[in-house]
Every structure is written in C-alpha cells, then in structure tokens.
Structure 1
C-alpha cells in the first residue's frame, strides 16, 4: 500500500515549475556605414584628392606676411576627412637663426610643443597636417623647404602638404595660395641621398618634377563674411564723413586710382632677382665642373696605377717570378664621390619661377604702357 504524500511534497507540486535563468543575448556588432567607413580612414588608404583652406587661415597668413619684413612660415592644423585635408587653423614659427643652429632649432621645437599643448587645452585642432611658406614673385624652391617637407611626408598622414603664399600677388589684389607635396620619385632619391647624374636620369628628375600640385579650395565661414561686411560698411561711412555730398540716398563709389598704376614697379626687382639667380646657378655649375675634373683626375691616376701593376706582373711571370699582390686602389687614391646636383636643380626652379612671374607682370604693364602712349598722343 503506497504511503500518503507529505505536506511538503504536496506544496512543492502545487508551485509553478522554476524557470531557468535567461541566457544573455550574444552581442551584435553593427557594420560601419559605407559613408563613415570612408571618413574613418585609420590606415590612410584613401588617396589625397584636395586641400580645403579655411578663410580664417587665409586672413592670418596674409596678415602675418604683411607685418613681417622677411619671408614667413608656420604650421597648418586640421583634419584629414575623406581624402581631403581640411586646414582649420595655423600659427607662425619663429625665424630660424643661422648663428646657432642647434640652439635655434631647440627653441623652435619648444615653442611648437607649447603652442600645440595650449591648443589642445582649449579643445582646438592640434593635429599638424603640413606647413605654409610665404614667397615673393613665385619663387619658393630652397633646401629648407625640401628638407622640412621630406620629414613631414615621412611622419604625417598622406605626407602633409605645403601651402605657398605669394606676397607680390597679394599686393596686386590677388590672394595667391597653392598647395604642393613632394613626388614619389624625388622622395625616393632623397631617402637614398643620391642626386648624381645617373640617379637623376634613372628617376627622371628635373626641377619641375620635385613637387606636385594638389587642388586647393578656400572655404569662407559665416563669421569671416560678417567681419568683411563690417569692414566695407566702415569704409563707406568713413568716406561719407569726409565728403558730406555722398550722404545722399545713393552713395557714390569712392575714387580709385589703381588703374593709373602701370604695373612696372616689380619689373626691375624681378629682373634683379633673375640676374642674381642666374649668377648663383653659374657659380654652382662651375663648382660642379671643378669637382668633376678632380674626380676624373683621381680616376685616371688609379687606372694608370692598375695598368702599371698589370704590366709589372706580366713581366715577372715571363721571368718566372711570382706576381706582386694586387693592392686596394681605394686606399691609395681617395676618389671623391660624385657631387649632388640638388642645389643646381633648385636654382633652375627659382629661375623658372622668376621668369614666369616676369612674363605675367611685364605683359600687363606693356599693355597699359601702350594704352597710355595712345591716349597721350605720343
């Protein structure tokens, strides 16, 4: 006879069955959208297609160039978004002193670090994406620019860029800004530190293939547009105060005498710079020719020594004697290495830039002079 169930068993049977703990759902990772995957370019796989320069940066560079008596340079800050370098800020660097290069370089490095830390504290863009350099009459080829860009192109994403600003064009009312970077062929030769004639031929390098231009566009913000608008309003009010007759409903256009400028002010200076650059190139070519003659002279001496030793050994073998040991010619004759032609290429680039600037300014001035001659009845 089966025993009656206990009270505990009856209560346990009446309770609902215990439910098992729910298993946590596996985490799901959503794929990055195609648009964001292009923006988030961690490995810098998207090729650089252009540079976007903020209007604030343009005004800062122009202001610094006007206030400085010599050429100016500084760092560009911004972001690399979807293959476009967006330059949002900049700051100038102190001039490099040639008296104490080591001390001056350390001072510039400390100043640059302090500026970047200050920008980071105020949550501004502190990512260096290149540097800018002011120039005159279109010439910006020099050793410092090439060395600085080579360092940036090795350490920065997409190699960074150079923004060059022509002061002479700005003085004529044209804000001239161009973006460049070193070509792969030139960078390969620079890493090898070989700018001999053979290397230039193999890499097909000329002064025109040192840099490649990157498309550049300028973006003007609403704040900068308002600022320029306030400047124009102030200029009109100032003219109205000086001339009460202009306070009518239709404000007259202020007089401008820019059309009377024949544009020949920079022609003389441009010719002086061309002559100076040609003289420097001639001097450099003379130094290269002297070094080439010295190398040829040492090679001729080494070849003569080797030929003489071969004749002596042939005579000793004919006499049944042991030949003399062959000596290392490089220890006996110090043959200089072939000189670098980088400076000569840069000088040719400067001459070409000055010549193009002269052709542009002289053509405009020539047309104005013919017009003046016709009006004067000469």
Structure 2
C-alpha cells in the first residue's frame, strides 16, 4: 500500500513538472475570390483543347432508349448534361423535354420554364447541371430538319465547346442494332447560317452541300463495372435452390432469333418515306424555279428602264438639254431576294439517309435469302 502511494505521488510530481500542453491550433477556412467575368475566358484552359470524342454514359443511353420507346413517333428529345475534359465530352446525365403543342410561342415559354426548373432541381441535389448538348430520336436515319439545325446553332453559339446533338435511330433499335451518333455543325455552314444567306453564290463560296452541314464526332458508350457485372449475371444460367442447387434454370435473357427472320422489316415504310422526300424535293425545286423566273423578269424590266433612260439622256445632251436625273431602280422595281436553298439541302440529306437505310436493309435481306437457300440445299 505504501509502495502504491509513493508511485502515485511520484507520477503527480512528474506531471506537475512537465509543461502545460499547448492548445490545438485553430484552422482557418480558406478564402476564395470570385473570378472577374472579364478574366473567365482568359484562364479557361479547357476551351483551348479541341473536342475529339463524346463519351456517353450507359445510364444516359438507357434513358434515351426508354424515352424513344415511350414517345410517339420520333418526337423524343431532351437535354444532355455533363462536362468536357481534355477534349472528351463526358455525358453523365440527361432528362427528356416535353413535346411542343400547337401554339409555338406558348410552347416555347412553357419549355423554357420546365428546363429551368429541372436544372435548378438537379443543382439542389448536387447533380450535373451543365448543358453540353441535346439528343433527338429519328426514324430511318433521316435527322436533317430545320428544328435540329436551329437548336444546334444556338448551342454552338452559347456553349463553350458548342455542344453536340446525339441522334438515336429508333428503327435500328427495332432491328436489334442500337444506334447513337454525335454531330456538330461545320464552321462553313455556321458562317452561312449566321448571315442567313443560302443563295447559290453563298453555297458556292462556302462549298456547302447536304453532306457538309454536319460533321460527325466519334462517340463511345461507357458502362460502369457494376452495370456490366449485373448484365453478365443476368445472362448466366442460375441454379435453383429448391432443386438442391444442382440443376440449372434457363437464362434470364433467352436467345433472340429475330435477326434471322427473312421478312424485310420496315422495307415498305422506307420506300414510302423516300418517295415522299423526293416529292417534297421536287416541289421545293419547282418553287425555287418559279421565284427565279420572277426575279429574272423584274431584273430585265429594271435593266430595260436604265437603258432607255440612258439613251434619252444622250439624246437630250445632243440637243443641248439637261439630262434627266437618275432614279433609284430598286424603288421603281421591287426585285425579290434570291430564295434560300437550305430546305433543298435538308431534303437532299433526308433522301440520302433513306437511301442508305434502304441499302442496308436490302443488303441484309439478300444475305439472309442466300443463307436460307444454301441451308435448304437449293442451288
């Protein structure tokens, strides 16, 4: 007992002789100064790196597939969210946009309110809310239309890297081949679009054809490891515990022999769409020819008027009289402007897409028929 008391007093004396422990240092929170708006573009290093790849997350691909399947016809469209890093546009999320109604002005305002509400909600849950483009469902690969051009032109003017439009072909999905392609407007077309000049001279100077309106950006779909493992587990046969664990049940994903059917799925619809596009192109070309003839007649009248006034002034000068004042021809003759050929370019793009889809369908059907013939022993 005496030994224990001595040890306690010695420990107390040692503790009293040691210096008092210093208080823990208080960490101060770092302060950040806001970047001035005038300097935000100067220090944006990512903006200097050109975009070369679009990486679509697997979740985004499934959301687009679901929206395209549930939406009527090919009206499915929505916004893509993500970020661009080292020249790769990483699309990590998306949300669908409602289809516009009959009243364009009212539908546009409603769409803007919905879009703003969705972005605010994503920001509140700390999810990606940076718009990097939009997606559009299409049929038979014919995605050339005025709506896509106008929307993409706005994105390339407002977004840092211009954004992309991801086109999803629902007909290819119905055939078992999921199709996602990313596009951007070319610089030459964007220059003509900003000037609103698609006359013949402008098309020649910008070297524009239907194939040079959009440029394709390489796209790849990224599936995270958990999703890949889940799909792999679904595809494997599973054992049944009720049967002792030794028997194997059928696969969750049964084999699909739909691609081996000899019937040309959608071939008739493809032909109908192509004929309709060709008719629309011929109508548009007829309208352009009619307006061109009107322009030629008005110009001829103006040129004849100028020639007559010039001859009359020469005669008056020869007689010693003062020449008549020259009048503004544009006020006397209303020469209409040259019609835009943008609609013709878009229709040619649609015809080309329908032709390629028809060629692919016909080629696959021909191979199936030859294979069936060989398998049946025919010569």
Same fold (TM over 0.5): yes
Bigger mean CA offset, 297-306 vs 60-69: 60-69
1:88 — aligned with what?
92
Counterpart for residue 146 of structure 1: 149
Instruction: Show structure 2 runs of 5+ residues with no match.
Output: 1-42
Partner Cα distance (1:262, 1:55) in 2: 32
Q: Kindly state the Cα deviation for residue 224 of structure 1 after the two structures are TM-superposed.
A: 2.4
Kept in 1, the 8 Å contact 2:238–2:249? The answer is no
For residues 220 and 255 of structure 1, the distance between their equivalents in structure 2, rounded to whole angstroms, comes to: 22
Q: Is the 8 A contact 1:263 1:361 kept in 2?
A: no
Structure 1 counterpart of 2:109: 106
Query: In the aligned structure 2, how far is the partner of 1:251 from the partner of 1:144?
Result: 47
> In 2, are the aligned partners of 1:139 and 1:353 still within 8 Å (CA)?
yes
Equivalent in the alignment of 2:172? 169
The answer for the alignment partner of 2:274 in structure 1 is 274
- Cα displacement (A) at 1:201: 0.3
Q: Give how far 1:249 is off.
A: 4.3
Taking a change above 3 Å as real, the CA distance of residues 96 and 343 of structure 1, as seen in their structure-2 partners, is same
* 1:94–1:353 Cα change, 3 Å: same
Change (3 A) 1:237 1:138: same
Partner of 1:20: none
- SS state at 1:158 partner: coil
1:181 to 180, 184, 191: 184
**1:22 counterpart residue number:** none
Picking from 113, 116, 119, the partner of 2:122 is: 119
Q: Deviations over 1:249-303 (max 9, x none)?
A: 4858956442541250211111111100000000000000000000000000000
Whether contact under 8 Å (2:46, 2:86) holds in the other structure is no
Residue matched to 1:345:
345
Distance 1:357 1:89, change over 3 A: same
RMSD across aligned C-alpha pairs, in angstroms?
A: 2.3
SS in 2 for 1:309: helix
Match of 2:32 in 1: none
Deviations 1:289-335 (A, max 9, x none): 00000000000000011111111111111111111111000000000
Do residues 52 (structure 1) and 55 (structure 2) align? yes
Distance 1:297 1:322, change over 3 A: same
Equivalent in the alignment of 2:247: 248
Gapped runs of 5+ residues in structure 1?
1-39
Please state whether the residue corresponding to 1:317 is helix, strand or coil. Answer: helix
Where 1:265 maps in the other structure, the secondary structure is: coil
Q: Measure, in 2, the Cα distance between the counterparts of 1:359 and 1:165.
A: 19
1:200 aligns with 2:203: yes
Q: After superposition, give the CA deviation of every residue in 1:71-122 in whole Å (9 maximum; x if it has no partner).
A: 211000001111111000000101122x211000000000000000000000
Q: Which of 224-233 and 158-167 deviates more?
A: 224-233
Aligned partner of 2:286 in structure 1 is 286
Is the alpha carbon distance of 1:371 and 1:232 closer, same or farther for their aligned partners in structure 2, counting shifts above 3 Å? closer
Provide the C-alpha distance between the structure 2 equivalents of 1:297 and 1:268, rounded to a whole number of angstroms.
44
Deviation at 1:248, TM superposition (A): 3.4
TM-score (norm 1): 0.83
Contact 1:41 1:82 in 2 (8 A): no
> CA contact under 8 A between 1:57 and 1:89: conserved in structure 2?
yes
SS at match of 1:103: helix
Q: Is this contact kept in 1: 2:181–2:219, CA < 8 A? A: yes
Aligned to 1:23: none
Distance in 1 between residues matched to 2:216 and 2:257, nearest whole Å: 36
Shift of 1:377: 4.5
TM-score of the two chains, using structure 2 as the length reference: 0.82
1:370 Cα deviation from its structure 2 partner? 3.0
The 1:216–1:256 alpha-carbon spacing in structure 2 relative to 1, beyond 3 Å, is closer
